Structure 1
Amino acid sequence: MKSKELVEKLKSSIGTERFDYHFDSEKDELRIEHRTLKQGMTIHLSDILAKYHTIKEKAIEEVVYTIDQTFAAMESEKNDVIYDLANIYPIIRSTSFPLKSKEGSPFITTEHTAETRVYYALDLGKTYRIIDEKMLEKLNVSEHQIRDAARFSIKKLATNTKKDEVAGNIFYFLNENDGYDASRILNESFLKEMSTKIEGDMTVSVPHQDVLIIGDIRNEVGYDVLAQMTMHFFTVGMVPITSLSFVYENGELEPIFILAKNKPNKEQDKK
């Protein structure tokens, strides 16, 4: 599929009644503008096409859903829909994720690891809006209240996992598809509970927004499996975070670099 064909598919799926479309073939981008709101979003077509080669029509379905929900959130905000602190959740993003909104307002963030950063989101039902400084006044809350509310909210979310065994290693997958799967990495009680089940090395992975993987790595093959697994999820995820995994030990998360058929030497890495 070529970019021009993808643009036509998106226009057909989203519709032209409320939106204007501007295709920039040089940058391989599609700008979608809401006629009433006078707001829009830019889609990087190459990213969607890369996923299309792997997951086919699902890649298009995912981006159409994201676009629909993003504009629905904009419409809700325009209509002055009021939300309280119970609707605020933390979200995990890569450290390369922008620190400001497109309007230039800084996002509310908290440092997490060398690979990840915590942002905060106002839940709007089927989507959410990342909170920036400009929104604080509208929500009538402080940064401290935002962080406290998010810490409380993440503990309320379900932590059901599916278990799989590969080459003598155990992997637990959390995939509730609520937009906050990766955010469960911030639920310390959940991580401590999972650590009681682990016989080998405990790893935690958040390759994209909609999955969290906990590994019970019992042999060297397990690290190879983990590396391949996280890279796969990272490349197909709608909101990729990091292909690196973390060792969880004594309540701390430490990024690990996995070399094929070699178990990471944490002591050597610290030298």
Structure 2
Amino acid sequence: MRTAPEEGQLVEVPLAPLYARAEKSPEKAASLVVAFAERVLAIVRGQLAERSLQGAQERVYPVLRHASFVKRDPDRWVFQPHTEETSILYAIDDQEGYHLIEKGLLAQAGWTGEELHQHAMRNLQRLPVPQKRQQVGPNQITFIAPGDGYAASRILLAPLLEEMRRTAQGDALGIAIPHGDVLIIADLHGKAGADLLARLTYDFASKSSRPLSFLPFFYEGGELVPFLTVSHDRKPGRAPADS
């Protein structure tokens, strides 16, 4: 979820934890929504306070956005290119949510972009990486969706990807970031495995209000290589419309 307080600041509040709790306890859904709304109001009120990166080294994280998000206002954001479809931006976390870091805030702190990136990556590396695995034929699909707002960002953790590649039994390691709240890593066998990951990626991305990438990747030699499979029973992928 995104709210837009004064001066166009963007505040990110992950909805995944709310959905998960409501599904687990349907009888509490109404009270959970009320509590969530109160939380959002508190976050918006908090935007009125002066914000600074000074002393916030342990509260910054990398976040992924579709490349079109940056292209709309490239002079505003601190970012690095990631893939053809995605860019790395940065956020300051206040436990209730996070807001994206603009160049002006970085300048006020006297940090360089590289210093911000280093702080963000160190913090990302400290986060747990909970994994849920599903076996589909010979293919093992691993879902990483901790609900903290930085699920897709874990694609930046090279040691994680290298370990998954090392232990893979199939022909290729597939990776997908259909939206920000999930990272999919798949131990794939043959064309059927690649087709499976492509379908999963499309389905996840098409159901998101803010998709990242409709295309999955092969992880080869430390690089993400996008791939496309052709299916006659699926409509062609649409271009994401980041909000």
TM bin, normalised by shorter chain, reads 0.7 to 0.9
Paired letter, 2:66? S
Which residue of structure 1 lines up, in the alignment, with residue 81 of structure 2?
A: 111
Q: Distance in 2 between matches of 1:212 and 1:148?
A: 21
Q: Find out whether 1:245 has 2:211 as its counterpart.
A: no
Which residue of structure 1 lines up, in the alignment, with residue 112 of structure 2?
A: 142
Which residue of structure 1 lines up, in the alignment, with residue 207 of structure 2?
A: 236
Percent identical pairs in the alignment equals 28
Q: Distance in 1 between matches of 2:87 and 2:225?
A: 14
Structure of higher RCO (CA pairs closer than 8 Å, 6+ residues apart)? 2
Q: How does 1:99-248 map to 2 (within 5 A)?
A: 99=71, 106-200=76-170, 201-248=172-219
Q: How does 1:74-93 map to 2 (within 5 A)?
A: 74-80=44-50, 84-93=56-65
Shift of 1:72: 4.3
Deviations 1:84-127 (A, max 9, x none): 111110011111223466xx851001011112111111112121
Distance 1:66 1:241, change over 3 A: farther
Q: Distance in 2 between matches of 1:175 and 1:33?
A: 25
Distance 1:82 1:243, change over 3 A: same
Aligned residues: 208
Moved over 4 A (4+): 37-41, 64-68, 71-74
Per the alignment, in what secondary structure is the counterpart of residue 180 of structure 2? coil
Tell me, yes or no, if the aligned pair for 2:174 and 2:186 is still in contact at 8 Å: yes
Name stretches of at least 5 consecutive residues in structure 2 with no aligned partner: 11-22, 24-28, 233-243
Shift of 1:158: 1.0
User: Rg: which structure is higher?
Assistant: 1
Tell me, yes or no, if the aligned pair for 2:70 and 2:87 is still in contact at 8 Å: no
Tell me, yes or no, if the aligned pair for 1:88 and 1:123 is still in contact at 8 Å: yes
Q: Distance in 2 between matches of 1:72 and 1:39?
A: 17
Deviations 1:9-57 (A, max 9, x none): xxxxxxxxxxxxxxxxxxxxxxx886xx58698xxxxxxxxxxxxx9xx
Q: Distance in 2 between matches of 1:66 and 1:184?
A: 28
- TM-score, structure 2 normalization: 0.74
